[in-house]
Amino acid sequence: MLKKEQLEELLTLCMRSEADFAEIFEEDTNKESISMLNQVVEGVDRSQSSGVGIRLYKGVQSVYGYTDIEDMDSLKNVIADLVDALGPKDEGVKVQLKEEKIEDKHPIRIDPLASPLQEKVDLLMEGSQAAYEASEKVEKVSASLASVHQKVQISNSNGRLVQDDRHRVRMAISSYVSDGKTLQSGACSPGGSMGLEFFETTSPSSIGKEATRIALVLSQAKPCPSGKMPVIIDNGFGGVIFHEACGHSLEATAVAKNQSVFANKLGEQIANEKVTAIDDGTIPNAWGSQNIDDEGNPQQRRVLIDHGILKSYMIDTLNGRRMGMASSGSSRRQSYKYEPTSRMSNTYIAPGTDTLEDMLKGIERGLYAKKMGGGSVNPQTGEFNFAVQEGYMIENGKITDPVKGASLIGTGQEILMNIDMVGDNLERAQGMCGSISGSIPTDVGQPRLRVKEITVGGTANE
Amino acid sequence: MNKQAWIEKAKELGLESFEIYQSLSASKEMTWYEHAMDTFVTSKILGTSLRGIVDGNVAMIALEQVDDSKMDSVLKQLVDQAKTIQTPEKVVFATPKPLEEKAVSSRQWVQPSMQQVEKTMDKIEEKCLAYDPRIVQVGYLGYEEGKGAREITNSLGLHLEDEDQVQYLVCSIVALENGVYKDATKVEVVENFDTFDIDAFVKEVCQEALDQLGARSIPSTTCPIILEKDAMSSLFGAFAGLFSGDLIAKGISPIAKDLGKKIFSEQVSVIDDPRDPNALSIANFDDEGVLTKRKVLVDHGVFEQALYDIKSAIKMNTESTGNGFKSGYASPVSVQPMNLSIVPGEKDLDGLMEQMQNGLVITDLMGLHAGIHFVSTQFSLQASGYRVKDGKRSEPVTLITIAGTFLDLMNHVVAIGNDMDWTYKQVVCPSILFEKCAVSGE
| Same structural domain, B316 and B359 | yes
B157: helix, coil or strand? Answer: coil
Q: Is A2 on the interface with B (CB under 8 A)?
A: no
Contact B10, B155 (CB under 8 A): yes
CA distances from B321 to A90, A181, A346, B293 (A): 58, 29, 44, 7
In chain B, positions 157-186, which contact chain A (CB-CB < 8 Å)? 174, 180-183
d(Cα B367, Cα B154) in Å, to the nearest integer? 40
- H-assigned helices in B257-348: 310-315
Pairwise CB contact (< 8 Å): B440 & A456: yes
Pairwise CB contact (< 8 Å): A259 & B44: no
Q: What is the pLDDT of residue A461?
A: 59
d(Cα A279, Cα A248) in Å, to the nearest integer? 12
In the predicted structure, residue B124 carries a pLDDT above the cut 60 = yes
Q: What is the pLDDT of residue A462?
A: 43
Q: How many CA atoms lie within 13 A of B169 on its CB side?
A: 29
> Which is it for the CA torsion B310, B316, B322, B325, positive or negative?
negative
| B59 within a domain of the structure (yes/no) | no
| B35 within a domain of the structure (yes/no) | no
In chain B, positions 49-108, which contact chain A (CB-CB < 8 Å)? 58-65, 77, 80-82, 84-87
ipTM: 0.88
Q: Which of A112, A30, A41 is nearest to B84 (CA)?
A: A41
| Same structural domain, B361 and B389 | yes
In the predicted structure, residue B226 carries a pLDDT above the cut 70 = yes
| Same structural domain, B224 and B372 | yes
| Same structural domain, B170 and B249 | no
Contact B76, B50 (CB under 8 A): no
Per-residue pLDDT in tens (0 to 9) along chain A, 462 residues: 999 999 999 999 999 999 999 999 999 999 999 999 999 999 999 999 999 999 999 999 999 999 999 999 999 999 999 999 999 998 888 999 999 999 999 999 999 999 999 999 999 999 999 999 999 999 999 999 999 999 999 999 999 999 999 999 999 999 999 888 888 899 999 999 999 999 999 999 999 999 999 999 999 999 888 889 999 999 999 999 899 889 999 999 999 998 898 999 999 999 999 999 999 999 999 999 999 999 999 999 999 999 999 999 999 999 999 999 999 999 999 999 999 999 999 999 999 999 999 999 989 999 999 998 888 888 888 888 889 989 999 999 999 999 988 899 998 889 999 999 999 999 999 999 999 999 999 999 999 999 999 999 887 654
Q: What is the pLDDT of residue A125?
A: 98
| Same structural domain, B403 and B288 | yes
| B424 within a domain of the structure (yes/no) | yes
B81: helix, coil or strand? Answer: helix
In chain A, positions 169-198, which contact chain B (CB-CB < 8 Å)? 176, 182-185
CA distances from A140 to A131, A135, A289, B145, B282 (A): 9, 11, 34, 43, 36
User: The domain containing residue B262 runs over which residues?
Assistant: 215-442
By Cβ distance, the residue of B43, B46, B58 closest to A65 is B43
Question: Which domain-ending residue is among B174, B195, B212?
Answer: B212
| B171 within a domain of the structure (yes/no) | yes
pLDDT in tens, B323-348: 999 999 999 999 999 999 999 999 99
Q: Is A451 exposed, middle or buried (0-12, 13-18, 19+ CB in 10 A)?
A: buried
Type of residue at B270: V
Contact pairs from chain A to chain B, CB under 8 Å: 244
* Beta pairing partners, B183: B174
d(Cα A150, Cα A456) in Å, to the nearest integer? 40
d(Cα A270, Cα B7) in Å, to the nearest integer? 63
d(Cα B209, Cα A68) in Å, to the nearest integer? 40
Pairwise CB contact (< 8 Å): A257 & B400: no
- H-assigned helices in B137-253: 198-212, 229-238, 245-249
Q: What is the pLDDT of residue B275?
A: 96
| Same structural domain, B180 and B247 | no
Pairwise CB contact (< 8 Å): A47 & B62: yes
**Alpha-carbon gap: A5 to the closest alpha carbon of chain B (Å):** 22
Pairwise CB contact (< 8 Å): A407 & B183: no
Confidence band (pLDDT; 50, 70, 90) for B194? very high
Give the gyration radius of chain B's Cα atoms: 24
pLDDT in tens, B209-224: 999 999 999 999 999 9
Q: Which of A181-185, B310-314, B370-374 has the highest mean pLDDT?
A: B310-314
pTM for this predicted structure: 0.91
Q: What is the pLDDT of residue B13?
A: 96
Q: What is the pLDDT of residue B401?
A: 93
| B220 within a domain of the structure (yes/no) | yes
Q: What is the pLDDT of residue A379?
A: 80
Q: Is A323 exposed, middle or buried (0-12, 13-18, 19+ CB in 10 A)?
A: middle
- H-assigned helices in A299-446: 317-323, 356-360, 412-418
Q: What is the pLDDT of residue A459?
A: 75
Q: In chain B, what residues touch A42 (CB-CB under 8 Å)?
A: 85, 87
Give the gyration radius of chain A's Cα atoms: 24
Q: Spell out the domains of chain A, with CATH numbers in brackets.
A: 4-30+42-100 (no CATH), 117-152+163-220 (3.30.2290.10), 223-457 (no CATH)
d(Cα B265, Cα B434) in Å, to the nearest integer? 10
Q: What is the pLDDT of residue B342?
A: 98
Q: Which of A360, A341, A356, A272 is nearest to A308 (CA)?
A: A272
What proportion of chain B, given as a percentage, has pLDDT over 70?
100
| B166 within a domain of the structure (yes/no) | yes
| Same structural domain, B298 and B441 | yes
Kindly give, in sequence order, each residue whose CB lies less than 8 Å from that of residue B159, ignoring residues fewer than 6 positions away: B96, B151, B152, B153
Q: Which of B334, B410, B31 is nearest to A257 (CA)?
A: B31
Contact A170, A146 (CB under 8 A): yes
Angle between helices B71-84 and B3-12 (to 10 degrees): 50
